[in-house]
Amino acid sequence: MSGPAGEELPEPVRRLVAEAWTFRWRVELEAALRFARLAERLGELGEPEAMVALARRASEDERRHAGLCEALAREYGQRVLPEAPTAVTEVAPARLPPRERVLYELVAACCITETESTAVLTTLLVPDGSPRVRPVLRELLRDEVMHSRLGWAQLSRAHAEGAQGAVAFLGRYIPAMLEGGTSPRLFTPGSPEEESPELLRHGVLPHTRKREVFVQALHEVVLPGLERFGVDTAPARQWLAQRGA
């Protein structure tokens, strides 16, 4: 079947591309709901209006991203999309105080997920990528960088303004954040279709490359960033070593 770049794609590869953009469509809608809730929580906690506004803008960005992802999913042959999410689960443990729950969600959604997304999108912007896909990737990348900064800014503020060790509680929870935001199949072998180099040109990382980007971003950006603000990353490094083994 012909993709938006006007070229023939093997049917299994085309199907994987359509599924990937459909998955992103749902992820973006869920992120929009999460950021909207975070904006409310930040306001309730009396955080600076600039932080609340950033969260609101992130929610609007994610809804716009969902529209872009839906359009590409349909262009690659996805005829019916799943039911759109109307709510999103709060990932922070309920036993944590409100301020710590908000920080937990921001670290999970921004410092980890959005930072990892930035690494993926940067890798996907290959020179010979589909001319229909590249502008979408650039738009997503521009916004995801800003979304990741929301989490890092809040973590920095909590570290600087809180009592000694105010963010230390996060260390033991980082593995749960990684587990919750990672596909169970990431550290298992991919099928031949999932390893197809053709995927890259259409905005999808081949399976092994996806794992490499994830691990590299953790080692080079996420974990050093967390350590800088006083978060113990030993549990996260142990989690990663176990998955890699």
* DSSP code at position 126: -
Asked if residue 237 belongs to a domain, the reply is: yes
Any domain includes 5: no
- Give a yes or no: residue 6 inside a domain: no
The per-residue pLDDT for range 31-80, each reduced to its tens digit, is: 999 999 999 999 999 999 999 999 999 999 999 999 999 999 999 999 99
| pTM above threshold 0.85 | yes
**CATH at residue 197:** 1.20.1260.10
Written as six digits, the tokens of 150 are 């929301």
3-state secondary structure (DSSP) of residue 2? strand
4 assigned to some structural domain: no
In a domain, 32, yes or no: yes
What is the SS3 assignment for 6? coil
Distance from C-alpha of 26 to C-alpha of 23, rounded to nearest angstrom: 5
**Quick one: pLDDT at residue 8?**
75
**174 domain-assigned:** yes
pLDDT lower than 50: segments of the chain: 1-3, 5-6
Q: What is the pLDDT of residue 165?
A: 67
Task: Say what the pLDDT of residue 184 is.
Answer: 87
Residue 93 belongs to domain spanning: 11-244
∠ at Cα 47 (145, 235), nearest 5°? Answer: 60
Answer yes or no: is 123 within a domain. yes
pLDDT in tens, 203-213: 999 999 999 99
Residues 208 and 191: their CA atoms lie apart, in Å, by: 10
Look at the chain and report how many structural domains it folds into: 1
Residue 66 placed within a domain: yes
* CA 21 – CA 14 distance, rounded (Å): 11
Give the HSE-up count for residue 26: Cα atoms under 13 Å, Cβ half-sphere: 12
The predicted pLDDT at position 6 comes to: 40
pLDDT of residue 161: 83
The residue type at 66: A
Residues 21-37, buried b or exposed e (16+ Cβ, 10 A)? bbebbbbbbbbbbbbbb
Q: Is 237 exposed, middle or buried (0-12, 13-18, 19+ CB in 10 A)?
A: middle
